[in-house]
Amino acid sequence: MRVTTIIAILALAGLINAPLQAADAGAGANTYMAKGCVGCHGASGKAPINETYPVIGGKPSDFISAELNKFRSGERNNPIMMPMAATLNDVDVANLAAYLATQ
C-alpha cells in the first residue's frame, strides 16, 4: 500500500511538472523541415509558396499551438493540415510553436 502511494505521488509530480518544461525551438525547426511544412509555408514560415497558404512565422506560440491542436482534433477542417497535424504529438506541437514564434 505504501509503495503504491509513493508511486502515485511520483507519477502525479511528473504530470504536474511536465507543462513547466520549456519547448525546444531547435527541435521545432527540425520537425518543421522533416514534416514538410517548408513546402507550403516557406523556410521561415513567412514566405508561403503561394497566397493560399498563410504566413505562420512570427505568430505567437499560443496561437500556433491552438491552431495545430484544432487540426489534430478535427475542430478545424483542412484536407492538407489535418493529416499532417495528426502525426504530431504534444511535444512536437510545442516545439513547432516555439520555433515559429522566433521567426
**Is residue 11, in this structure, part of any structural domain at all?**
no
pTM above threshold 0.85:
no
Assigned C-alpha cell, 18:
511536465
The domain of 50 spans 23-101
CA 47/CA 89 separation, integer angstroms: 25
Q: What pLDDT score does 51 carry?
A: 85
Other beta carbons within 10 Å of 72: 20
Residue 38, in any domain of the structure:
yes
The pLDDT assigned to 95 comes to 98
Residue 65 inside a domain? The answer is yes
Tell whether 3 is covered by a domain.
no
In a domain, 5, yes or no: no
From first to last of its 103 residues, the chain has per-residue pLDDT tens of 565 556 655 555 554 444 557 899 999 999 999 999 999 999 999 987 888 899 999 999 999 999 999 999 999 999 999 999 999 999 999 999 999 999 9
For residue 14, tell me if it sits in a domain: no
CATH number for 64: 1.10.760.10
How many structural domains is the chain composed of? 1
Give domain status of residue 94, yes or no. Answer: yes
Tell whether 10 is covered by a domain. no
